[in-house]
A and B are shown apart, each in its own frame.
Chain A
Amino acid sequence: MKLNERFPGFWSLLVDEDGSLRKYVNIFVNEDDIRNKAGLATTLKGGDRVHIVPSVAGGSE
């Protein structure tokens, strides 16, 4: 949320109205997908690296 203060509108790029992480956005803390941890409630400690990565997929046609 501090990032959202610094960059207004940032949070809405990652999270839906219901507060859940967007379906095609992945967030990793170091090498761990937060969906396999505590989701958006995953806590960070000093030195952690956060990666925000859009999903990749093949074409639909």
Chain B
Amino acid sequence: MRGPFFESSSVFHMAFDQRDERTIYAAVNSFHFGPTIFRSRNFGRTWKQAKKPPRFSEGSGLRVENVWHIEPGHSDESDVVFAGTAPGALFRSSDDGETWDINESLNKHPSRSKWAPGAGGLCLHSIVLDPNNLNRMYVGISAVGVFKSEDAGESWATKNTNVRADFLPTKYPEFGQCVHKLVMDPTNPQHLYQQNHCGVYRSDDAAESWVDISKGLPSRFGFPMAAHPRTSGQLYVVPEEGDFFRVVSNREFVVYETSTAGKRWKKLDKGLPKRNAYLGCYREGLASDCLEPAGLYAGTRMGHVFSSNDEGKDWSVLAQWLPPVYSVSAATLN
């Protein structure tokens, strides 16, 4: 194990750039020196800080509080990287993360004046790119919902049809839902999934509408979600009791799997703590690699990392006694 890096800072997310199989981006948030993004091209031996980190325009009255998520761009745009921040904003770099520019279209969306932060703040935590369509992308913002662009970010539309917001007077508002994590089926870009504050959902039509697939899970609440790298309709979640008690459901730190796009769920628990486990998994804390069979990894708020080499059938401790694990990412090298 190498590190620690960025001591005294909170690293909300680390993203491995599969395009060049060597670059790692880190969303580093310092209590003192603010948020920024670092890049390593040698697996963490050295890091370089962004020359111009994500920042709102001077005079906007807004201040980047934290960088929440980093997403490498399309394979055809090797120097493009995206970042999501709190308060909810999308940034784009076209120079491998050296400098970052805000997406003003999303920043000035007509709905913005009505965005109300949740417990995690207005964090833009999910950025999903359609691999078959350079112009189509999605973002997820806590307590606001899912947005979709069909023109490479020039304009955005809310996409929350049939997603519940139990904490609002209107159960199915146009926006205001609290999406916790948004992922895409890697083999079928029309299919997306979200772990929401109020359920787990699937879209079969590129986010135009959503289907509730929470039935079979011990809770509708949770944070992380990971998709299988190759098998369509297969994904994983870690349910928690609820917003009132943020520990894993039934005090068992287990992973639930669906291989039927959410029609049925199966508990994966062999080798995981199943009694008195007052643990939780952050939204970036669940990951899969691209190996065959796929490996799965789950990090906990209490500093454990569990891993499985057989798609979740068996788990073992990979690391423990770490600080809270905010992010788990797997790098698959050829």
Q: Could you list which residues of chain A lie within 8 angstroms of chain B, going by C-beta atoms?
A: 8-9, 12-14, 16-19, 22, 24-25, 54-55
Most buried by A among B34, B50, B53: B34
Q: Is the CB of A25 within 8 A of B33?
A: yes
Q: A18-B63, A25-B32, A55-B32 are in contact. Are A9 and B58 (CB under 8 A)?
A: no
Q: A17-B58, A17-B63, A18-B58 are in contact. Are A24 and B32 (CB under 8 A)?
A: yes
Q: With A9-B36, A13-B34 given, name 10 new contacts (CB 8 A).
A: A9-B52, A9-B53, A12-B34, A12-B36, A13-B30, A13-B36, A18-B58, A18-B61, A22-B33, A54-B32
Of the residues A13, A17, A18, A19, contact of B33 by C-beta under 8 Å? A13
B330 interfacial contact with A, CB 8 Å: no
State the total of A-B contacts with C-beta under 8 angstroms: 43
| Chain A residue with Cβ nearest B56 | A17
Most buried by B among A14, A17, A54: A17
Roughly how many angstroms separate A32 CA and B191 CA in the complex, as a whole number?
Answer: 60
Question: Chain A's nearest CB lies how many Å from the CB of B150?
Answer: 30
Question: Chain A's nearest CB lies how many Å from the CB of B25?
Answer: 15
* Residue contacts A-B, CB under 8 angstroms, 23 given: A8-B51, A9-B49, A9-B50, A9-B52, A9-B53, A13-B30, A13-B34, A14-B33, A16-B34, A17-B55, A17-B56, A17-B57, A17-B58, A17-B60, A17-B62, A17-B63, A18-B59, A19-B58, A22-B32, A22-B33, A24-B32, A25-B33, A54-B32
Roughly how many angstroms separate A55 CA and B33 CA in the complex, as a whole number?
Answer: 10
Question: Chain A's nearest CB lies how many Å from the CB of B85?
Answer: 12
Question: Chain A's nearest CB lies how many Å from the CB of B57?
Answer: 7
Q: Is the CB of A17 within 8 A of B64?
A: yes
Most buried by B among A8, A9, A22, A54: A9
| Chain B residue with Cβ nearest A25 | B32
| Chain B residue with Cβ nearest A12 | B53
Roughly how many angstroms separate A55 CA and B63 CA in the complex, as a whole number?
Answer: 20
| Chain A residue with Cβ nearest B33 | A13
Which positions 246-274 of chain B face chain A at CB distance < 8 Å?
Answer: none
Roughly how many angstroms separate A3 CA and B55 CA in the complex, as a whole number?
Answer: 19
B167 interfacial contact with A, CB 8 Å: no
Question: Chain A's nearest CB lies how many Å from the CB of B38?
Answer: 10
Interface string of B52-82 (1 = CB under 8 A from A): 1101111111111000000000000000000
A19 neighbours in B (Cβ, 8 Å): 58
Q: Is the CB of B58 within 8 A of A54?
A: no
Roughly how many angstroms separate A30 CA and B50 CA in the complex, as a whole number?
Answer: 30
A16 neighbours in B (Cβ, 8 Å): 34, 63
Roughly how many angstroms separate A51 CA and B51 CA in the complex, as a whole number?
Answer: 22
B43 interfacial contact with A, CB 8 Å: no
B64 neighbours in A (Cβ, 8 Å): 17
Most buried by B among A12, A16, A24: A12
Roughly how many angstroms separate A13 CA and B57 CA in the complex, as a whole number?
Answer: 16
Roughly how many angstroms separate A54 CA and B62 CA in the complex, as a whole number?
Answer: 23
B53 neighbours in A (Cβ, 8 Å): 9, 12
Roughly how many angstroms separate A16 CA and B55 CA in the complex, as a whole number?
Answer: 9
Roughly how many angstroms separate A17 CA and B33 CA in the complex, as a whole number?
Answer: 12
Of the residues A8, A13, A14, A18, contact of B52 by C-beta under 8 Å? A8
B31 interfacial contact with A, CB 8 Å: yes
Roughly how many angstroms separate A16 CA and B51 CA in the complex, as a whole number?
Answer: 15
Roughly how many angstroms separate A37 CA and B32 CA in the complex, as a whole number?
Answer: 21
Roughly how many angstroms separate A21 CA and B50 CA in the complex, as a whole number?
Answer: 20
B60 neighbours in A (Cβ, 8 Å): 17
| Chain A residue with Cβ nearest B8 | A54
B58 neighbours in A (Cβ, 8 Å): 17-19
B49 neighbours in A (Cβ, 8 Å): 9
